[in-house]
Amino acid sequence: MRRYSAFAIAREGVRYHQGWERAWKSPTPKKKYDVVIVGAGGHGLATAFYLGKNFGITNVAIIEKGWLGGGNTGRNTTIIRSNYLQDPSAAIYEKARSLYETMSQDLNYNVMFSPRGVMMLAQTHHEVRGYQRTAHANALQGVKTEFISPQKVKELVPIMNINGPRYPVLGALWQERAGTARHDAVAWGYARACSDMGMDIIQKCEVTGVDQADGKVTGVQTTLGDIACDKMAIVVAGNSGHLAEMSGFRLPMESVALQALVSEPIKPCMDVVVMANTVHGYMSQSDKGEMVIGGGTDAFNNYTQRGSFHHIEETVRALVETFPMVSRLKMLRQWGGIVDVTGDRSPIISKTPLGNTFINAGWGTGGFKSIPGSGWAMAELVAKGEPGPLAAEFGMNRFTEGRFIDESVAAGVAH
């Protein structure tokens, strides 16, 4: 694989850009692989990448029923942060955030990571106490956050109205090295690196059945034929329950649609990410000038990827008091993504009842920010057959043992 560089851009400019290679191959599936990863989103591709990089396992197929990165990886609001309350959550999200810092260099692909800072507004006295507690927990966890005053909030975000009559800003939990990245570029960068290792990325290949013998998976049936494997990893986000049922077990989670929308492009006016949990809305400004707005999940289980009008109304109405300028913007487009939500709002990275099958699911609204940390932990689980330190607390058995990792507040506005 030819490295991307300033010299390469100059060279191809002289050649009218005729010499660029394909970023990744589109091979025909082989009959058997050491590992089959179902799901070519960010988490599946990251799992494959770290299997190759950390453990030298490259006879891997990443199969995707749609197109690469076409699920939640391409349908999120790109926020990256690690200011979670519980120790296991903070550890894996901070691992992910630190890997995002060097991802462009590690993958030789610009993922446009922007550590612009993320603030979570405290607009009730209950939130003030909760975020101060989280700041103390983060200090013990080695995650750099701080609770800042309303005046500091106004200094960082001048367009904000901090004196709203219903929900005044009483402070905020501020993480300076949090931020955003380009979601498509994360998937493309991992895909390019995996393909260069010799892994097969197989798109338009839907799993229709799972072959088993003696309590283990022996292969998968797909629309492109049967593929045998020694191990299988399920990394399909909102469709996890469906694939688990196909494999013969159930998951303690539900799938719902999460809505987001963007405005027309405007001049730069906000260079941080703001989350307002009390009013259920969060907002940042993209590199193109659009205001990227997110809200809550649908109140009913569904698998739709379409937007719905009531979410436009509720989310924008919630933000207007804190950001009056939103009332003057035209909304450009809206979409939805299928998120899988567990009872304690924490993910599952776990062995399954099938001896050689592993699952990575339940990230809810926190999937994008966790991609590299999730892939790192999942790769270790698949390679060794047992979870490492990052994944140890996220097993499926915690729900039967009562070891919940309660992140119903820290997980964000959608929970």
Q: How many CB atoms lie within 10 A of CB 209?
A: 12
* Distance of alpha carbon 415 from alpha carbon 412, whole angstroms: 6
d(CA 127, CA 214) in angstroms, rounded, equals 51
From CA 372, how far away is CA 107, in angstroms rounded?
A: 12
pLDDT of residue 412: 46
pLDDT tens-place string over residues 186-212: 999 999 999 999 999 999 999 999 999
Percent of the chain with pLDDT over 70: 98
Q: What is the pLDDT of residues 375-415, one digit of tens each?
A: 999 999 999 999 999 999 999 999 999 999 988 755 544 44
Which residue reads 């200011």 in tokens?
83
Whether 211 maps to a domain, the answer reads no
Specify the pLDDT at position 142.
96
Q: How would residue 315 be classed by pLDDT, with cut points 50, 70 and 90? A: confident
Q: Specify whether the CB–CB gap between 122 and 172 falls below 8 A.
A: yes
Q: How far is CA 277 from CA 10, 217, 382, in A?
A: 46, 42, 36
- Residue 164, in any domain of the structure: yes
CB 251 within 8 Å of CB 394: no
What's the whole-model pTM score?
0.95
Q: Is the per-residue pLDDT at 282 higher than 50?
A: yes
- Interval 141-193: pLDDT, tens: 999 999 999 999 999 999 999 998 888 999 999 999 999 999 999 999 999 99
Query: 149: domain range?
Result: 117-178+255-342
Does some domain include residue 174?
yes
196 is a domain residue: no
CATH number of the domain that 337 lies in?
3.30.9.10
pLDDT at 10 over 70: yes
Q: In this structure, is residue 224 part of a structural domain?
A: no
Q: Is residue 413 part of a domain?
A: no
- Residue 326 falls within a domain, yes or no? yes
Our separate counts of H helices and E strands in the chain read 10, 18
Q: Could you give the number of structural domains in the chain?
A: 1
The DSSP bridge partners found for residue 255 are 340
Q: What is the pLDDT of residue 411?
A: 53
* Element (DSSP H or E) covering residue 143: none
